[in-house]
Amino acid sequence: MNDIHNLRRSSRKTLLPPEVGFFYTVDMEHGSEIDFYESICPLFVDIFNISNDGAFLKAGEKIEPKAFFHLQVYNSFDKLWKFFSGKVKWIKKDSTKSGYYFAGLELQPRTEKIKPLDRENIKGLRIPLPSDFEFFRSTKLLGFIPRDAVCSLLNSVTHKNLKAGERLMSQDEVGDTCFLIQSGSCIATVKKKGELHPVGRLREGDIVGEMAIVTGEPRSAYVDAETDMELWGLTRSQFENISQDHPDLRSFLTELVANRFESRTVTAQRKINKYVITDIIGRGGYSIVYKGLHVDLNMPVAIKMMKHDMAMDPDFLKSFWNEAKIIAQFNHENIIKIYDIEDLYRTVFIITEYLEGRALNDLLELFGTISFPRTVDFLIQICNGLSYAQRKGIIHRDISAPNIFVQPNDRLKLIDFGLACPIGTEDLVCGGSLPYLAPELIDGEAADQRSDIYSLGITLYEMVTGKRPYPEESAGALMKMHRTEDIPDPATIVPDLPEEIRGVIFKACHRNPDKRYQDVNEILEDIQPLAEKYGITRKDMPSEKRKMTTLLLVYREENKLAFTKLMSEFSTKAKSLGVIVRAADFKEV
């Protein structure tokens, strides 16, 4: 690489992020202008560095070595395209991504006028032209996708013209393509009881039929061109191919689904099987939480949608499903109850009880700190919840102020078990919020109950001081402090801090897991004298209560074989839920 630098006639400017280039090879020796425009095959490429005489690019297709080319490079600062011609000097496969190539170019600035490329003189061109790029830059589409996927997207979308009055989509048809409107407008109508009802108008920059790339479900409305239209289509298979190379693109699916759930249009489908989304509660790093309603029971619920970049990770999803089945059986007053888990829209929805109250971080923002007696009460409840989960072999892995919910009666609930895993699990992702993350997890070591205890110690520090212990301006610096610096003394901020609380913070937050509390019950023992002083009597729940239901089933003798099969299936399902089935026969009824 140094030899290449030494051979360059002028220094290259490194472009961070890369600029977008529009590249196409040309035959400089044969063929007429007509032949040239009929055979052109342009490609959007990433330009990593450039000078007056050379450039380095990455392309999603193989570029022939020694080929002559034209190249337009977009200057994002000036919002202008600069035109070059030249010859390909070398190519090399990208060892990290199949189907991608690096190329070194020899450039010659063009001075003569070149006939601009347009759809009239380039037969069969499907991808955008440089003149279309400014439109794409202004859309929400490019705002949501990662920069390294932009050229792949531009090389995949296909152009479509629609005349006024033509139909783009029909209600109930199964579609596999969504469209981005570049110009013109269209009307969406819904057919109900044989009559068409207009429900909305879509214009430049809007996306039409977006759920096609999420689920491929039937269209929810008719869409007809109100004026002449110019659109760009992206199929589900094209999206899949791009997201294989650029997994971060999957976050765009989250936005598409979220837009549907938060829309108030008639066509919006906000059902998750037997649950209906009614409002949004909040967004987190791994999920979006909605308020919902169980349709049959008229019962309020919370619905957490896992973001697609995590839900579509096979390793994470497998682990999540295995542990979700265990967590769904939890029955403890300090742990949020999981009612259901739904797999829909290419992600996972966790249905939980709906809680009234505030998250602990909201309380801290409102009041600054938590009083000492209330802190001890909260600490006992958190430890009780964690102890119960750990007895079941599960650690939370994301203990933090936002994941501790305080109800109006000061009853605490541990929420957000989306990253929970069995004790000793090697981290599939660096789970948890960085300000609370244990040093061993930053180092990629196995997670156990002591990791939760470290996070609890940071949370306890925050409760009594009103702030977290380490500066958070830089993620790298914060990780280094967790790994190399002891937690600051909270008594320097709160001089009258009870020694029992101070001691718990220091021991829980020891950088060496072996020197921390090895179990949350040890914290309960250390804090018990202070709890008695404050008159706090909350105790852990006894083991889960069991209930009994009696069913009386009456059947005809001729149906005995079918009834026996039914009972066998029922018994198998019941046992998987931990239900004990007992049967007794009566001779006659």
Res. 569 pLDDT band, cuts 50 70 90: low
pLDDT at residue 329 in the model: 84
Q: Please state the rounded mean pLDDT for residues 115-133.
A: 74
Between CA 438 and CA 261 the distance in angstroms is 35
Based on the fold, state whether residues 163 and 294 are members of the same structural domain. Answer: no
Between CA 280 and CA 147 the distance in angstroms is 28
**Average pLDDT of every residue of the chain:** 84
| DSSP letter assigned to residue 426 | P
How many structural domains does the chain have? 5
| DSSP letter assigned to residue 366 | H
Res 415 pLDDT > 80? yes
Based on the fold, state whether residues 168 and 63 are members of the same structural domain. Answer: no
More confident residue, 40 or 281: 281
Based on the fold, state whether residues 371 and 471 are members of the same structural domain. Answer: yes
Based on the fold, state whether residues 371 and 486 are members of the same structural domain. Answer: yes
More confident residue, 147 or 561: 147
More confident residue, 263 or 106: 106
Q: What is the CATH number of the domain that holds 79?
A: 2.40.10.220
pLDDT at residue 573 in the model: 62
Cα 101-107-113 angle, rounded to 5 deg: 120
**Given 309, 398, 448, 452, which residue is catalytic?**
398
Based on the fold, state whether residues 349 and 383 are members of the same structural domain. Answer: no
pLDDT at residue 243 in the model: 87
Res. 235 pLDDT band, cuts 50 70 90: very high
More confident residue, 102 or 199: 102
CA dihedral 566→568→573→579, nearest 10 degrees, is: 110
Based on the fold, state whether residues 102 and 166 are members of the same structural domain. Answer: no
- Of 12-21, 334-343, 563-572, the one with minimum mean pLDDT is 563-572
More confident residue, 525 or 26: 525
pLDDT at residue 171 in the model: 93
Between CA 102 and CA 63 the distance in angstroms is 9
Res 463 pLDDT > 90? yes
Based on the fold, state whether residues 377 and 460 are members of the same structural domain. Answer: yes
Q: What is the CATH number of the domain that holds 365?
A: 1.10.510.10
How would you list the strands of the sheet with 287-294, edge to edge?
A: 271-272, 275-283, 287-294, 299-306, 347-353, 338-344
Based on the fold, state whether residues 381 and 510 are members of the same structural domain. Answer: yes
Among residues 72, 94, 125, the one where a domain terminates is 125
| 507-534 per-position pLDDT tens digit | 999 999 999 999 999 999 999 999 999 9
pLDDT at residue 470 in the model: 94
**Is the whole-model pTM more than 0.85?**
no
- Of 42-51, 243-252, 522-531, the one with minimum mean pLDDT is 243-252
270 lies in a domain? no
Cβ count within 10 A of residue 278: 14
**Active-site residue, 228 included:** no
More confident residue, 260 or 343: 343
| 274-286 per-position pLDDT tens digit | 999 999 988 877 7
Among residues 353, 384, 405, the one where a domain terminates is 353
Residue 39 φ/ψ, nearest 5 degrees = -105, 0
Q: Please state the rounded mean pLDDT for residues 371-375.
A: 97
Based on the fold, state whether residues 312 and 387 are members of the same structural domain. Answer: no
Res 401 pLDDT > 70? yes
263 lies in a domain? no
Based on the fold, state whether residues 16 and 65 are members of the same structural domain. Answer: yes
Domain residues for the domain of 289 are 281-353
Residue 379 φ/ψ, nearest 5 degrees = -60, -45
pLDDT at residue 25 in the model: 84
pLDDT at residue 574 in the model: 62
274 lies in a domain? no
Based on the fold, state whether residues 390 and 511 are members of the same structural domain. Answer: yes
Based on the fold, state whether residues 423 and 525 are members of the same structural domain. Answer: yes
Q: Please state the rounded mean pLDDT for residues 87-109.
A: 90
Q: What is the CATH number of the domain that holds 313?
A: 3.30.200.20
> At residue 332, what is the residue type?
H
Q: Please state the rounded mean pLDDT for residues 403-431.
A: 82
Q: Which segments of 291-438 does DSSP mark as H helices, in order?
A: 308-311, 314-327, 360-367, 372-391
Res 4 pLDDT > 70? no
Among residues 294, 321, 353, the one where a domain terminates is 353
More confident residue, 16 or 294: 294
